[in-house]
Amino acid sequence: MVLILRVSELGIDKAAKIAAKKIKQGGIVAFPTETVYGLGANALDEFAVNKIFRAKGRPPDNPLIVHVSSIDQVDILWRDIPEVAYTLMERFWPGPLTIVLPKREIVPYNVTGGLDTVAVRMPKNEIALKLIEYSEVPIAAPSANRSGRPSPTRAEDVLEDLGNSVDVIVDGGKTEIGVESTVLSLVHDPPAILRPGGLPLEEIKKVIPNVIVHPAALGEFFGRPESPGMKYRHYAPSVPLVLVRKDFLDYILKKELSKGKKIGLLLLECLKISNEKNILLKCFDGNLRIMAKELFSALREFERLGVDIIIAVEPPLEGLGLAIYNRLKKAASEIIS
């Protein structure tokens, strides 16, 4: 049976202490971060880490992000740390930036999907930080969804996907940012964003002016993936999702409505849909921050409401728009642009 720890009832400290005990015993614990809910285990315990892959149904070559509660902890995980890594950590940690650097021997290969590098970040969430601190080890944690599903932004989403296959779920309410961290490789030359996320490209450019967005991060690369997660379909709801450019919206709406389809429509700017009962609208008044926060829960809600198809309109590719676009593109069953 899964143990659910409600922070609203127990308080942060008590919930974190109970959950940390499970981590120390080699168990797996779902917990909130500022991005999405993670499914964590002792990053230095190969056996515990294996339980994460089993619970999620995650392909073994898709590496995990290791979460720390202080900058000092990176010394046991990474070797050959460049100066710019410290600049980034001091500026953006705790926060939604994951950095990839060469791993030390102590990091098991199942954490890194067989790679000689390891991805590390410090989450900006008091529950997550206390959990790591009380566990007294770094915590390896991918998002706490079944592999391929939309990421969980609420404890209920974790329960829906993973239920009793995890030991503990710490319920800390809805996550603040709603999309995963930005993954930045410092072993790539020039430094490359492997996955756009909660920390916008524009912010990283202020520290690394020559940083690039890896073509695969936008789905425009078909060679050997540098970040194995790039090759899998991700974030996908159980109903078809069509990603369209705004100019094609009218056309596709008419087409699907004429087939009698019930449509979940997701877009940044709100528009008047002339009381069309077969369209469920989720829009965000042009605010990318709110759209990111609501993105995954909107996909899951459309599923629950029984829509036949989700139509999502491409957001602008600036700020958090790049992360939203990346998630929608990977979730899409069809792209019209």
> Residue numbers of the site for Mg ion (CB under 5 A)?
143
> Dihedral angle at the C-alpha atoms of 258, 259, 263, 266, nearest 10 degrees?
-70
Q: Pick one of Mg ion, ligand AMP, none as the site partner of residue 194 (Cβ within 5 to 8 A by kind).
A: ligand AMP
Q: How far apart are CA 185 and CA 205, in angstroms?
A: 14
- Determine the size of the site formed for ligand AMP (CB under 6 A): 18
Question: How far, in Å, CA of 333 to CA of 222, rounded?
Answer: 18
x/- letters, 215..234, toward ligand AMP (CB under 6 A): ------------x-xx----
User: Segment 32-71, which members bind ligand AMP (CB under 6 A)?
Assistant: 62-63, 65
Contact partner, 229, from Mg ion, ligand AMP, none, Cβ < 5-8 Å per class: ligand AMP
Q: Which of 121, 130, 195, 327: binder of ligand AMP (CB under 6 A)?
A: 195
115: contact with ligand AMP by CB under 6 A: yes
3-state secondary structure of 193: strand
For 325, the token pair is 């676009």
Query: Which residue lies nearer to ligand AMP by CB, 148 or 316?
Result: 148
Rule CB under 6 A: say whether 183 interacts with ligand AMP. Answer: yes
Burial class (CB in 10 A: 0-12, 13-18, 19+), 273: middle
Nearer to ligand AMP, 201 or 265 (CB): 201
> Which entry of Mg ion, ligand AMP, none binds 132, CB below 5 to 8 A by partner kind?
none
Spatial distance between the Cα atoms of 121 and 143, rounded to a whole number of angstroms: 14
What are the angstrom distances between the C-alpha of 61 and each of 53, 57, 112, 122, 281?
10, 12, 8, 23, 37
Site string for ligand AMP, 236-275 (x = CB under 6 A): ----------------------------------------
Amino acid at 217: A
3-state secondary structure of 94: coil
- Binding region for ligand AMP (CB under 6 A): 62-63, 65, 100, 112, 115, 117-119, 142-143, 180, 183, 194-195, 227, 229-230
